Structure 1
Amino acid sequence: MSKNLFWKLVLIVVIIVLSVLEIFPPSKKLKPGIDLAGGTSLLYQIDTSDLSSEEKRTAAQDMIRTLQERIDPGNQRNLIWRPHGNDRIEIQMPLASKETQQLRERFQEKLDLLKKYNLDLRAVQRALVQPQGMSEADYLAARTQEFARLAGGLENRQQMLKELAGAYDAVTAGERNRDQIRAKKQELAGQLTEAKVEIQRVELLAQQWKELDDPNRAERLKGLTEEEAKQGLIRQYIETELEWSAALSAWTGAEGLKAQYESALYKVEQVNVDLERLQGILEEGKAKRDVDLTAIKATLPQEASAIIDELVVAYDGYAKVSGRLDSPEDLKRQLQGSGVLDFRILPTLSDGILSETAIKSYQDRLAQYGPNPAKSGDGNYAWRKIRDAEEFKSGNAITAEFAGKLYVLASSKADEVLLHEKGGNGWELKSARPDTDQLGRWAISFNLNEIGANRFLQLTKSNLNRPLCILLDDEAISAPNIQSAIHQSGQITGQFSYQQVQDMVDKLRAGSLKARLSDRPISENTVGPLIGQDNLQAGLKAGVYGLIVVSVFMLIYYILAGALANVALYMNLLIILATMAFSRATFTMPGIAGLILTIGMALDANVLVYERIREEQARGSSIRMAIKNGYHRAFSAILDSNLTTVITALILWLVASEEVKGFALTLMIGLVSNLFTALFVTRAIFDLMTDMKILKSKLTMLQMIRTTKINFVGVMPTLLVVSIAMVIAGWVVFLSRDEAKNSKYAIEFTGGTSVRIRLNEQGKDLDRAAVEEAVRQAGQQMNNKQIAEGTGVQQIGPADSLEYEIVTTATNRFTATLLFPAEEKKTVEEVRGLVLDAAKGVGDDRLIKSEITAGAQPNEFILTTTQTNRNKINEMVAALPGVECANEKTEESVNQAIIAALGNKLDSLYNLEPANVTAQPITPELVAQKPYLVDYQGGVLFSGEFGENKSESLQRLADRFGQLRFKSDYGKYGQFEYKLFAPGQMQAVLETPLKGVEAAVLSPDVLYGGSEETEWNQFQANLTEWFTRGLELETSLPRVTQIDPSVGEKSMQDALVAMVLSIIAIIIYVWIRFGNVRFGLAGIVAMVHDVSIALGMIAITPWLASTAIGKFLLISDFKIDLTIIAAILTLIGYSINDTIVVFDRIRENRGKLAHVTGNIINLSINQTLSRTLLTGSATLMVLIIMYIWGGAGLRGFNYVMIIGMVVGTYSSIVVAAPLLMLGIKKEKESGKKDYAPSPDKQYSRNPSV
C-alpha cells in the first residue's frame, strides 16, 4: 500500500469516527424543526401608535424582517414568523435536541435548587409591613412565623431576619417619634406666628441654645419679647426643636436607626446569589471563574456551596452542546429592546453641578412620580433604568430606587447627549462586534458613520473626565469616564458575559425597530408538529424503507461497486447530519428536501463513474486502468453538475428570504460532502482493493439497458410541439385557477384564519387527525373548498392536551352597504378609489384589498372585506365624507364550520354576569391593607362578584382573560400587566371554584400620581371595560384571529431575484465550461419546461382529486406551501443535474468540432440513457414509497418530486439536448466549415446514430 493511499484511508476513518461521535445518539443530537417536532409559539403585540399610516400597514412585516436579521439571519434555527394583522406577530421556535434539553434541565434544576437558598426579598418586605386593622400581637406572631418559613431552618438566616425585624421596629418607632415631635413643633410654630413672634429669630436662638447658660438664655428671651407667656412658648418651641433635631439625627445619622436598618437589610440581600451574575461568571475562563465562585461561596451556607459545585459541573456539560436558542426564554431575551444606542453624560455626587438639595429633589420626584420625564425630570436631567446595578455601585453617579429597580440621573442637555431622535438626525452605527477590554473582559466595539463620529468627538471633547452613560434601548449599560476625546470608534465595557455581549451586538447590527414590541408575549404555548405526529412517523418510516430499497437495488445491479456506492451514500448522509449537528442547525422539511436532492446526486455520481468503468472494461482495459479512466472521464460531469447546483444554492443562501435558506444550507453541505464521498472515498477504497489484490479482474455489473440507437434528433420537432403544449397547458391551468373560490396557495402565502379550541370530556377521544378531518368534512358539506382543502390542525401543549389550533386559508368576511349622498353620482371605480385612499390612511392591508360592487340603488355600494375589526372599518368609513354604513354583516364561515364539526365537544365559556365591579388605585395605604399588591403599586385594583349560581376557578379565569388578548380591538387598552387573585387572598388553589375575583393591573406608561388626572381616568375607564368584558365573555371559540401571509411581498421578491440571478449565473458558468452560450440557454429552457409542467400539475390537483383515478392515486388538493416550494427547488436541482450530465457527454463527443451535430447529440443521449434511467428509477423508488406510505402530510411534497423526476428525465433527453441544434444549420449555410472529425473517428465508441 502506498503512503499516499494510507493517509487517504486514515482521513476517511477519522471523518467517519468524528461524524459518528458528533451525531450519536441521533435522537439527542439532531434538532428537528418545528414542522417536524413541534415547539413553542409566542404571540407579541406591536405598539404602532407612533407610526404613520403607511408604516402601520407594513409594521408587522417590517418588524419580522428586522428581528429575523437580529436573531436568525441564516434561518438555521428554523423560526417560523407569522404576522397577525398589522400589530401582532407570532414566532414559533423548535425544541432543542433531546440531549440539549436534558443537559439544560439538569443545569436549571441546580439553579432552581440554589434559588431556594435565596430569600424572597419581596416576601421579607411584605412581612415587615403591619397590615391595617391587625393587632400588634397578631402582627408580631405572623411576622415571626413568616420569617421562620423564609429562613428555611438555617440559623444564620433566622438571626439575620431577627436583626432586620429589630432594626425595622426601631426605625419605624424612631420615624413615629420623629413625626410626632415634628407635628408638635409645627403646632408651636403656628402659635408663635399668631403671637407675632419672628420665627426666624427663634430658629437662630435655637441653634445657639445649648451653648448658653441660664442667665444668658433668659436675657436672650427678653430680647425677643417682654411677655412671660410668649417667653414660655418660645422656650417650649426651642426645647421641641432640639428634641426633633436629636430624633432626626438618631434616625438619619451615619450610625442612626435608618442606617442600621439599611445595614441589616443589606446583610439580608447579600445572602442571595445574583443568579444572572452567577451565569455570567460561569462563562468566564476557569482561573477567573474559580476566584469569583470562591468569593460567592464564602458568603453562603455549606449546603449552598455544594450546590454551586454541582452547578458548575452541570453547566460545563450543558455548555458543550448549548446554542443561543435552546428555550423560549432565550428567544424572549433576544426579542427585548429595539436596538437603539444612545449616549448621555452623567452628573455625579461630587462634581458640584447639582447641589445636595437639587439631588434630593430629583430623588423625591422619582419616588413620588416614577421615572416619567414630565414629572421626575425638568428638561435638563431625566432618570434612566440601570440594567445591571453592579455596574454603577463603584462610581459616584446619582442613583435612586423606584419599584425595586435602580435608576441613574442622566443629562438631557443638547450638548451632553447623542441620541437617536424620531425622524433620524443623520448619525448611525456602522458596525458592532464582540471584543475584549484591557482587562480581558468581554466588551463591545463599535464604529460610527462620519456624522456620528463628528458629533461623538464633540460630545467627548467637551466633557472630559466625566462619566459617559451608554444606553441600549434606553437602559443604562455602563458609564465609563471619558479619558480623552473619542472620534469614530468606541468600546462598551462592563462586567458582561459573552452571551450578553452577543445579544447586544445582534441588536445593534440588526438596526433599530420602528415600533415597540411588547416586553412579554401576550401568549405562549407549546405546539405539535406542523405536519402532525402521525404524518411525521409515517414519513420517516417510509423514507427509511425507501432508502433500504435503493440500497438493495444498487447492490443487486452493481454488486461490489453497488456496495461501495451504498457506503459512499451512507457516509454522505453521515457527514451531512454531523455537520448540521455540529453547527446546531435545525432539520426542517425544506432541509429534508435538500437531503433528498443530495441523495439523488450522490447516486448519480456513482452511477456516472460505474457506467464509465463499464465502457472502459468493454474496451479491454485492465481493472486498474478502467477505474482510473472511469473516474477521470466522469469527473467533469460530476463537477459541473454539482457546481451548477451549488451556484443555485449559494445564491439562494445569499439573496433569497429566510424561508428557503434551510434548503440552501443543507444542499450546499450535501453537495460538498457528495464530491468528497463520490470522488475521494470510493476511489480510495477501489485503490485499496486493487493494491491488496482483492479486486483482480473486471467489475461485474448487470446491464438491463443495453446500448441503444434511438434517433432522438429525428423526433425532436414532434416532441418539442408536445413539450410546448404541456408548458402552455401548465401555465393556463396555473393562472386560470379561481383564487377566490379555492386558492392554490397555502396559508403562508394567502393568510387566513387561526382558531384556538379546547375540547371537553366528550371530545377527549379525538386526536389531531380526527379534528382535522371533522373540520374538513364540515367545509365539504358547506361547499367551502378553502376549509375542505386548506385546513390544518396543530396540537397545543403536551401529548394528552385537549387544546388545538385550527389554521385555514378561509377567512371570515365582513360586508356592508356604503350609502353615498344621493346628489353624488359615483361609479364603482370612483368608489373603489375613495375606499382605497381611506384604507391607506388607516394603514390596513385587508381594507386596501376590499372589494366594491354596485348596490341596489345608484348611491349604494357593497363593501366586502376580510377585515372583521369593526374599529378599523369604522375608522375607514369615517374618512369618507358624508358616507354612512348600513346592513353590516359578518359571514363567519370558519366559525360555523368548526362549530358544525365539533359542536358539543367544544369547551365553552359562559357569561359570569359580573356585579359590584369596583376599581381603586393601588396606593401605599392599600398595599398596607393587602400586602400581596406590593408589586402593583401605582396601578389599579379591580374587583367583582359573579352572578347567582355562577362560579369559576382561578385557572379558568386566567384562560378567560388570556383569550381577550386575541380580540381584534385589544390594542386600545394599551400595554399593561396584570395578575388575578382570589378576593382578599394572595394565593388560592387554581382549581377551586370562586364567587368573585380581583385583578391587579399595572401599566408601564400610566401610574397613579405620576400621570395627568385625565390620562389616569381614561386608563382606569378603559381597564374597567376590559375587566367587565373578561367576566362577561361567552364563546365556544375563545380565540379567532386573522393571519396575514407569513411570506411577505418582500420575501417573494427576494426569491424571484435569487432565481433570476441563479439563471444568469448558470448560463455564464455553462457558457464558460462548454464554450457556447447555447448550452446555458438550453439548460435553462429545460428547467423552465420542468417547473412549468410541475406548477400546472399542482394547480390541476382539485380536479384530479375528484376523479376515480385521482382518488386511486391518493391525489388531493395540494397547496403551494414552503414544503412544495422546497420540492420545486429540488426539482430545479435535478433538472440542471440531469441536463449537465448529457451536455458533458456531448462536449466530450464533440471534441474540437466547432458545432454540435445531430449524430453527436444522438450518440451522447444513447450513451447516457442507461445512467439517466438508472438514477431516475432509484430516486423514484424512494419517492413512490414515501408518497404511498409516508402519510398525507408529506404527500404534496412527494407528488411534486415524482412529477419533477419524470418530467426532468424527459426534458434532459428530448428538450435540452436537441435545442443545441437550433440555429446551427443557418450558420453552416453562411459559409462556416467544420474541420473536426466525426464522432465515430474518435476513440472507440458506440457507432454514431
Structure 2
Amino acid sequence: MYPPTLLAASLLKDPMLLFISGLALMVLFFWYFATDIEVRKRNVGTILTIGTCVLCTLAIIPPKETLKGGIDLVGGFSYTLQVQPKIDENTNKPIPLTSDDLKQARSIIEKRLNALGTSEMEVVETGSDKLLIQIPGIAAEDAEGVRTQLEKVAKLELRKVNLEGFTQGGPNNTILAERIKKGEAPRIPGYTAYEYKRKHDDIERTDYVLLSNRAALTGKDVQEAWPQQDAGKIFVSINLTTAGEDKMINLTKDMTPHRDCIAVLMDNEVLTAPVVNSVPLGKNFMIEGQQSVEEARSLANAMKNPLENPVRIINKREISPKLGATVIKQSLMAGGVGLLITALFVLIYYRTAGIVALVGLVINGLMVFGGMALFQFTFSLPGIAGMILTIGMAVDANVLIYERLREEMAAGKSLKVAISLSYEKAFSAIFDSNITSLITAVILFWVGSGTIKGFAVTLVIGLVSSMFSAILVTRVLFRWCNDLNLFKKLSFLDLIKSTNVDFLAKSKLSYIISGLMIAASIGAVAVRGERSLGVDFTGGTILTFQLDEKHLDAHEVEKSVEQVETAKLPSVQSEKSITGELLTIRCGEGDAPKIEEHLRKAFPVLAETKEVDGKQVPVVAASVDAVAASLGADFIRESLIALGLGLLGILVYITIRFEFSFALGGFVALLHDVVLSAGIVILLGSELSLIHVGALLTIAGYSINDTIVIFDRIRDSLKTGEGEVRELMNEAINATLSRTILTALTTIVTVALIAIFGSAALKDFAIMILIGLLIGTYSSIFIASPVVLWWSERKGGLRKEVMRTTLAESDITAMP
C-alpha cells in the first residue's frame, strides 16, 4: 500500500489530472480579480491559495525524486563522443572532418538533449574530433536511453522504389532485390538492394526492396516533425519545407497511384516503403511503425535535429557533483542563515504585519519549488541565482506595500482603508518591475542556450510566484485579519527617517565617478586581455588522473591547487568510469604540468611510482587533452543578443508605460550596472566564468526592479503634485529611499553570508552580486533619474511627457 501523500503525488503526474487542476486554479484566479464583492474576493482568494499550495506540495513529494539538481549539485553522467567523418556517396571514401563538422555535431546534440533548456547539460569540444558531454541528475537506468539519443544520426532520406526489384526468378523463385542483396544476382547501376524488416500480427519478417542510390528528399527538407496517436496507431507526422514540398511533387508527379512506392530510410535503414495512393504528394506525410509514443517522440526530435556526421561513444563515466556534499551543505547553511536573518528582520521591523509577509514568502518558496518539480526543471547555480533574485523581489514587494501602508496610516486613514490604499498604490510599481524582469526572462529563454535558459526558467517561475504571494496571498490574509478583528492597529519600526536630500544636484559628480570607474574597468580588460576570461570562455586543457581503486577528495584537491600560480583558475571534478575513479582538472593551456607536479608532491597517492623498462613512472597515470571553451564564441554571441533584446524589450515597455525619458534612464542605468559589475570583478583580479553569467543576469534584474520602483513614484508625484519637476523628483527619490535601503540590506545579508561561508564558486557568485547590489542601488538614484531629467528637459519637460502619455490616465489599477 502507498502512503496517501505518495498516492496523491503519483496521481498528480497524470497529464489530464494536472490539466484539470491547473484549469480550475486559473478559473479561480480570474474570478478573484473579476469580482468586486469583498467577502467573495476573500473566499475565492483563500480557496485559490490553498489549492495552489496543495498542488505545489504534491508536486514536490518525494523531494529526492521530483527536485532535479544540476551537475554542479548532484553529479550525473559524462560521455565522450568521437565525431566520425562523412562518406562521399560517389567515391565511398571518408571526407576529412572539419571544425565546422564538430561545431554542427555539438549544436545538434545540445538541441536534442536539451530542447526545453531544463537539464543544464554541458557540451564542450575536446581535441579535433571529440565532444565531452556532461548531463546532470540522470539515473543509471536512463543513461542507456541517452546513449541511444546521442548515437542516432537521424539521417532521413526518401528514395524511389524500383519495381523491377520485386520480379521473381532464380533457383528459389525469390525476388530480384533479395538475390542482389545476397550476392546471387548482379547489381543494377544506380540502385542498391536493402533489407526491410517489419512486423505483421506480432510476427517479424524481412522483405527486400531495390532503391535508387539518389535520395529525393533528406532531413534538410523537414521543417517540423511531431509524434501522433490516432485510433491506436502511433506515427510521426512530417511537415516539409517549401523546397521539400517541391522535391516531393517532382518525385511523385509521374508515379502511378496504387502501384509505385516510396521508401523512407533513417540512418540507412528502411523504416517503411508504402504504396503511393494519390499523386502528386505535397507538404505533409507520416512515418508509421513506432511501438510507443516515447519512441515516436524520440524519432521526431532526432529528425528535427539530424547529425550530418555520425558519432560514436568512446567513453561513459559517472561524475560526482562539482561542488561536493560538504560544499553544498556549507552553502545551503549560509543561505539558510541569511534567509533566517531576513525573516527576523521583517518580523522585528514590521512586527505583526511581518507575520503576514513571512507567510507570503513561505508560500512563494513553496510555489518556486513546486513549479520547478512540476515542470521537471533543473536546479543549478544559475538557477539558484534566479531564485535569489525572485526572493529578493518578493521581499521588495512586501516592503513597498508596508512603506505605503506606513504613509497612509500617518495620514490618519483607518487601518482597513490604509491597507486597501497601500495595495492599490503599490500595485503599479510591483507590476511594472516584475513585468520588465519577465520580459527579460522570456527573451533570455528564447535566445539563450542551456545556462541562460536555466536562469530564465527559474526567474519566470519565481516572478509569477512572488507576484502571487505578495499581492494576492498577503492581501487575503489581511482581509481575514480585518474581518476577524485580529488587527486593532499596526505599528512599524522607523529606523530610516524621512530625508530631504537634493540627489539630482549631485548628478555631475556621479557622472564623473561612474565615468572614471568605467574607464578603469575598460583599462583593466585591455591590460589583462584574455586573462580576464576564465577557462569557460577561453578553453584550455583537461588533466586526468586515472586513480582506479584509489580515492582523492575533490574539495581537498581544489584547495591544494589554489596554491599553484596558474594563468587560469582551474576547476576540479571527481568521476567514475568502468576502470575505476578518475580525477579531472580543467585548467588553462600550459597550466597542466605545474598542477600535475604540485599534486604529485602534495598527495602521497599521486607520488607513488613503479619501475617500467628500467624507469620509475607514476603508479597513477595522467593524461592531458585540449578542451574547447564551454562558453565559446557562440555562447558569448547568444548572451549579447539575449541581453541586447532584453534591454530593447525593457526600453519599449517603459516607453509605453512611462515615457521615453524614463526608458532611456533605465536603459543607461542597466547598461552601467552590468558593465561596471563585470569591470570591477576583473579589476579585483578575478576571471569571468560561467558563474558570473548568472550573477550578471541577477544584477540586471535587481537593477531594473529598483529603478522602476523609483520611476513609478516619480510619475505618481508628477501627476498629482505641484511644484518644479526637479523638486518633485527629489521628493519621490527621498520617499522611496527607506524601501531601497531595506530591500538592499535584506538581500545583502544573505549574499554576504554565502560569500563568507560558501564554496569558491559560490563566493565568486556572491561577491559579484554584492558588487552589483551596491552599484544598482547607486545607479537607480544617481544615474537613472538624472538621465531622465536631462533628456526630458531637451524635449520640452517631463511633466508634459507624463501627462500626454497614452496610458497616463489608464494605468493598471487592478485591485488585488
| TM-score using structure 1 length | 0.57
Asked if the contact 1:1156/1:1221 (under 8 Å) is kept, the reply is no
How does 1:789-938 map onto structure 2 within 5 Å?
790-797=569-576, 802-811=581-590, 892-893=593-594, 895-902=596-603, 905=606
Does 2:247 match 1:418? no
Cα separation, partners in 2 of 1:909 and 1:792, compared to 1, 3 Å:
farther
Alignment partners' CA distance in 1, 2:526 and 2:342: 37
Q: What CA RMSD, in Å, does the superposition of the two structures yield over aligned residues?
A: 3.4
Alignment partners' CA distance in 1, 2:102 and 2:224: 25
Query: How many residues matched?
Result: 757
1:737 to 514, 519, 528: 528
Does 2:199 match 1:382? no
Asked if the contact 1:1138/1:1209 (under 8 Å) is kept, the reply is yes
Deviations 1:1081-1137 (A, max 9, x none): 1112112222222112211233xxxxxxxxxxxxxxx43222111001100110101
1:772 to 558, 562, 566: 558
Cα separation, partners in 2 of 1:895 and 1:767, compared to 1, 3 Å:
closer
SS at match of 2:289: strand
Alignment partners' CA distance in 2, 1:552 and 1:1214: 31
Report the counterpart of residue 156 of structure 2 in structure 1: 341
Cα separation, partners in 2 of 1:42 and 1:1160, compared to 1, 3 Å:
same
Cα separation, partners in 2 of 1:647 and 1:350, compared to 1, 3 Å:
closer
Report the counterpart of residue 17 of structure 2 in structure 1: none
Percent identical among aligned pairs is 31
How does 1:65-104 map onto structure 2 within 5 Å?
65-96=107-138
Report the counterpart of residue 712 of structure 2 in structure 1: 1144
Alignment partners' CA distance in 2, 1:58 and 1:1159: 60
How does 1:613-1012 map onto structure 2 within 5 Å?
613-697=405-489, 699-739=490-530, 743-759=531-547, 764=551, 766-777=552-563, 779-780=564-565, 784-786=566-568, 790-797=569-576, 802-811=581-590, 892-893=593-594, 895-902=596-603, 905=606
Cα separation, partners in 2 of 1:1068 and 1:413, compared to 1, 3 Å:
closer
Alignment partners' CA distance in 1, 2:497 and 2:770: 25
2:737 to 1169, 1175, 1180: 1169
The alpha carbon displacement at 1:21 in A equals 1.1
Report the counterpart of residue 806 of structure 2 in structure 1: none
Matched to 2:635, the amino acid is S
Deviations 1:762-792 (A, max 9, x none): x74x411222233343x33xxx343xxx112
Asked if the contact 2:156/2:266 (under 8 Å) is kept, the reply is yes
- Structure 1 residue ranges without an equivalent (≥5): 109-326, 370-374, 399-407, 813-890, 914-948, 951-1032, 1103-1117, 1237-1249
2:753 to 1180, 1185, 1192: 1185
The alpha carbon displacement at 1:658 in A equals 2.8
Does 2:67 match 1:483? no
Asked if the contact 2:575/2:583 (under 8 Å) is kept, the reply is yes
Deviations 1:792-836 (A, max 9, x none): 211112999752111112337xxxxxxxxxxxxxxxxxxxxxxxx
Asked if the contact 1:456/1:487 (under 8 Å) is kept, the reply is yes
Report the counterpart of residue 1040 of structure 1 in structure 2: 624
SS at match of 2:736: helix
How does 1:125-140 map onto structure 2 within 5 Å?
none
Report the counterpart of residue 255 of structure 2 in structure 1: 462
Cα separation, partners in 2 of 1:694 and 1:1154, compared to 1, 3 Å:
closer
Report the counterpart of residue 172 of structure 1 in structure 2: none
SS at match of 2:458: helix
Report the counterpart of residue 17 of structure 1 in structure 2: 54
Cα separation, partners in 2 of 1:622 and 1:356, compared to 1, 3 Å:
farther
Cα separation, partners in 2 of 1:355 and 1:802, compared to 1, 3 Å:
closer
Deviations 1:6-35 (A, max 9, x none): 121011111111111111232332010101
Matched to 1:754, the amino acid is I
Cα separation, partners in 2 of 1:1154 and 1:352, compared to 1, 3 Å:
farther
Deviations 1:192-217 (A, max 9, x none): xxxxxxxxxxxxxxxxxxxxxxxxxx
Asked if the contact 2:73/2:323 (under 8 Å) is kept, the reply is yes
Alignment partners' CA distance in 2, 1:770 and 1:336: 36
Alignment partners' CA distance in 2, 1:1229 and 1:2: 45
The alpha carbon displacement at 1:720 in A equals 2.4
Asked if the contact 2:217/2:247 (under 8 Å) is kept, the reply is no
2:224 to 416, 423, 431: 431
Report the counterpart of residue 812 of structure 2 in structure 1: none
Report the counterpart of residue 21 of structure 2 in structure 1: none
Report the counterpart of residue 572 of structure 1 in structure 2: 364
SS at match of 1:1220: helix
The alpha carbon displacement at 1:594 in A equals 0.4
Alignment partners' CA distance in 1, 2:308 and 2:201: 30
Alignment partners' CA distance in 2, 1:443 and 1:391: 16
Cα separation, partners in 2 of 1:53 and 1:462, compared to 1, 3 Å:
closer
Asked if the contact 1:339/1:473 (under 8 Å) is kept, the reply is yes
SS at match of 1:714: helix
Cα separation, partners in 2 of 1:1224 and 1:394, compared to 1, 3 Å:
closer
SS at match of 2:210: strand
How does 1:543-582 map onto structure 2 within 5 Å?
543-582=335-374
Cα separation, partners in 2 of 1:798 and 1:676, compared to 1, 3 Å:
farther
Alignment partners' CA distance in 2, 1:1235 and 1:681: 32
Report the counterpart of residue 259 of structure 1 in structure 2: none
Alignment partners' CA distance in 2, 1:513 and 1:552: 55
Alignment partners' CA distance in 1, 2:537 and 2:226: 36
Alignment partners' CA distance in 2, 1:55 and 1:575: 48
Report the counterpart of residue 1085 of structure 1 in structure 2: 668
Cα separation, partners in 2 of 1:379 and 1:903, compared to 1, 3 Å:
farther
2:302 to 507, 512, 521: 507
How does 1:22-41 map onto structure 2 within 5 Å?
22-41=59-78
| TM-score using structure 2 length | 0.86
Matched to 2:524, the amino acid is V
Matched to 1:716, the amino acid is S
Asked if the contact 2:224/2:304 (under 8 Å) is kept, the reply is yes
Cα separation, partners in 2 of 1:506 and 1:1156, compared to 1, 3 Å:
farther
How does 1:37-52 map onto structure 2 within 5 Å?
37-48=74-85
Does 2:234 match 1:442? yes
Structure whose alpha-carbon radius of gyration is higher: 1
Asked if the contact 1:756/1:804 (under 8 Å) is kept, the reply is yes
SS at match of 2:532: coil
Alignment partners' CA distance in 2, 1:616 and 1:1216: 28
Cα separation, partners in 2 of 1:615 and 1:1229, compared to 1, 3 Å:
closer
Matched to 2:583, the amino acid is Y
- Structure 2 residue ranges without an equivalent (≥5): 1-37, 89-93, 804-816
Does 2:727 match 1:1159? yes
SS at match of 2:295: helix
Report the counterpart of residue 149 of structure 1 in structure 2: none
Cα separation, partners in 2 of 1:377 and 1:40, compared to 1, 3 Å:
farther
Asked if the contact 1:757/1:1038 (under 8 Å) is kept, the reply is yes
Matched to 2:704, the amino acid is I
The alpha carbon displacement at 1:1156 in A equals 7.1
How does 1:263-342 map onto structure 2 within 5 Å?
327-342=142-157
The alpha carbon displacement at 1:625 in A equals 0.6
Matched to 2:437, the amino acid is T
Cα separation, partners in 2 of 1:385 and 1:1215, compared to 1, 3 Å:
farther
The alpha carbon displacement at 1:596 in A equals 0.3
Cα separation, partners in 2 of 1:1136 and 1:413, compared to 1, 3 Å:
closer
